[in-house]
Amino acid sequence: MGCATTPAPITDKSGDADFAQFLETIRQDEKLPAIAASVIINGSIYAKAAVGIRKYGTDNWVTIDDKFLIGSCGKAFTATLAAILIKEGSLKWDTTVKDFFPELEMHPRWENITIQQLLSNRSGYVDDINTHLLPWEELEDLWNRNSPSADIRFIYLKRAINHKPAHPPDKVIIYANSRFLIAGAMLEKATKKTFEKLMEEKLFLPLKLKSAGYGSPAAKEPIAQPHGHSKSAFYTPIRQDLPDFIAPMGIVAISIGDWSKFVLFHLKAHQESHTRLLESSDLEKLHTPPNSAHWNYGMSYSLYLKTFDELDATTINYALAWFTEMKNDGNFLIGHKGQGSSFTAVVHANPKTGNAILLMTNAKVDHIHLRRAAKAIKKHYASQTDFHRLYLCTRQIRQPSNISSHRRGPCKGSIRCHRTGLSNRHLTIDDRRRPVARIGHLHRRGGSGRQRIPPRVGKRYRAVQRAAAGNIFYLYRGQSQFHPHW
């Protein structure tokens, strides 16, 4: 029976045979149920393939036309739809929540929040998972009772706008899914059509993205489409991923070929329709951070990026549904990661060179698996293009949970990076919820003086315990999971 290490057959339905064979090697190394990938070079699809199993424990193999959920990578579809409607005159980038919903009660700070601020994570509003103010379970209950998705989104908007955003708009960048849900409700009010219908009419059909849609692939076609998978000791197939009403947040179900068409559209190399959907200036706006707002994270996150990803956090920004990075050589790169409850995806692209790498798998796994796959692909095709200019470490930045943004103060114990000489003594509590350096280079300062903290035995798990704070960081090959007072 098919499993993560069972060799998958390479057929004419796998895509490019040589690339499929290469992907199969990666799939087995990373122990993934299935993987689909595409390589874009100089504005053209150079290779694409899909290998593996649709459902763990079966011999039902994926094909190049199978749909995968791409999670937050689908946010770019939402921002692109907004740009199209703005070009048509349905709204403007500076249209506010109050403009569309003057009849609704809302906190005064919400009255001037624009759709551009929502789509660029600059509204100041923080996700429910952090505020615990909105009853998400009630929305899921409405969905389980088959309430229309547009109605659920409107209910969510009415609740959200009565809560004070944590920050004034355009002051800081905080990654939050819920803002895209609110933006989707605004687009529906502007056009009097459902978000899903708008996306089909304005984007999917004009670009001929025949496979694109919303909803978990296996929920509708359990035999002909991939199941998602969660993983503990082994993979567990999942038919239904996240609820369908969160469509504006992402969760586009799409084949690797059609997703590549969409990315090519953003690279200005693919225009299927006779009428240009967006001009070059429109695409550049989507890829350009709207202002100089900074991330609401401190020095520890910068050190984390520098230590683990060899990146300068000051060059990473967020545009309209795209993470961006400005390289020293003048290249401006875009990308995103996505993950639901049972699928994972990532895209890295360079609009200047027309190069891109897209990856997706039907399992919720640590992003390091796809990062290693992307690096292997980059190395494999290094002779074909200048892939060293392609940024391969776009990290999704999330607001630390269960903590107020105003809580600050030093802790009694500190952790110092032996490589950089920096410590976390002067970081905020928010900051210290991120690891600050590789554990092999850490020292702890306490009452008994300077003490080196040796790496834990084994390659996968390492731990540092702060005696004073009573907190433990577990680092899994560069990724962290915070366990308070474990």
Cβ(111)–Cβ(96) under 8 Å? yes
Phi, psi (deg, nearest 5) at residue 447: -65, -25
Name the pTM for this structure. Answer: 0.79
**Which pLDDT value is given to residue 327?**
76
What domains does the chain contain, in order, with CATH numbers? Answer: 1-399 (3.40.710.10), 414-483 (no CATH)
Q: At what angle do helices 280-287 and 256-266 cross, to 10 degrees?
A: 100
pLDDT confidence bin for 437, thresholds 50/70/90 = very low
Higher per-residue pLDDT: 432 or 337 = 337
- pLDDT, tens digit, for every residue of 255-266? 999 999 999 999
pLDDT at 402: 34
Tell me what pLDDT residue 268 has. Answer: 81
pLDDT in tens, 281-319: 999 999 999 998 988 766 666 666 666 555 666 788 999
**pLDDT surpasses 90 at 39:** yes
Predicted local confidence at residue 311, as pLDDT: 60
